[in-house]
Amino acid sequence: MYKLIGLDMDGTLLNSQKQISARTQAAIQAAKDKGVQIVLSSGRPIEGLRAYLDLLGLNREHDYVVHYNGSFVENVLTGEIIRQQVVSAADVKTIGRTARALNVNTHAFSQRLGLITPKSTEYTRLEAQINGIEIHEIDFETLDDDHPMIKAMIVDEPEKLAQAYRNLPAAVVEQFTIVQSAPYFLEFLNPQSNKGLGIQAVAERLGIPAELVMCIGDAENDHHMLEYAGLGIAMENAMPQTKAIADYITASNDEDGVARAIEKFVLA
């Protein structure tokens, strides 16, 4: 039986109304009752996950959360950081300059200030709204070199973002882990940061081998954890490239896809 389930949030655990269905909550509780470790693994900051962690009762001493797409792995109860891989202020400036050259918008996450951007757009406002955080308008070039950062993002209309993704300079591609978490979000992480390494850190802390790990996701930023897991599951609503690497495809996030997968592979 699988001993650890890693769950993406948006487009996977959450339905289109950003809610966790009753069936999914029941399946997760039943898995927990069987001793299965449930780990939320998201591109969101911890602030955007607290309410869901509390709702699912994932706030005990041995519960961990992977946030910022694996940049941090944290004990939910104690706040102990068991893994941290972040970008520098210089990295954020590089992405800011790249975004300007490609005529797309950008924002980033600072360890001191939270969500920062040179110019607030509908996509930065969406990021703030999803996570319940404030926006701080700051020119990236004014950041001190030692300013502690987390990750940078290019955010724009899906068509513009796709074109920018294709046209990224080779030096930038080589410098970061780059993942698309939504059609309008492209994320630039520390090269040693991804959800797969985050889930691996939790599994190793708990003594659970990869073959007993099951992960479920819908987007490119989930690929590393789907590939790490003994069983990688994509949602029916997943990106085509995500479905292509999955071992199994479950129903969509509006059709209790997570619950159906847990029922089939853990509770049956």
Work out the percent of the chain whose per-residue pLDDT is above 70.
Answer: 100
SS in 3 state form for the chain? CCCEEEECCECCCECCCCCCCHHHHHHHHHHHHCCCEEEEECCCCHHHCHHHHHHCCCCCCCCEEEEHHHCEEEECCCCCEEEECCCCHHHHHHHHHHHHHHCCEEEEEECCCEEEECCCCHHHHHHHHHHCCCEEECCHHHCCCCCCEEEEEEECCHHHHHHHHHCCCHHHHHHCEEEEEECCEEEEECCCCCHHHHHHHHHHHHCCCHHHEEEEECCHHHHHHHHHCCEEEECCCCCHHHHHHCCEECCCCCCCHHHHHHHHHHHC
Question: What is the pLDDT, as a whole number, of residue 190?
Answer: 97
CATH architecture of the domain 4-84+193-267 equals 3-Layer(aba) Sandwich (3.40)
Q: Each residue of 10-46: pLDDT tens digit?
A: 999 999 999 999 999 999 999 999 999 999 999 999 9
Catalytic residue annotation? 8
- Model's pTM, two decimal places? 0.93
Question: What is the pLDDT, as a whole number, of residue 106?
Answer: 98
Name residues of the chain where pLDDT drops below 50: none
Q: Is the CATH number of domain 89-189 3.30.70.1400? A: no
Question: What is the pLDDT, as a whole number, of residue 193?
Answer: 97
Domain residue ranges of the chain, discontinuous segments joined by +:
4-84+193-267, 89-189
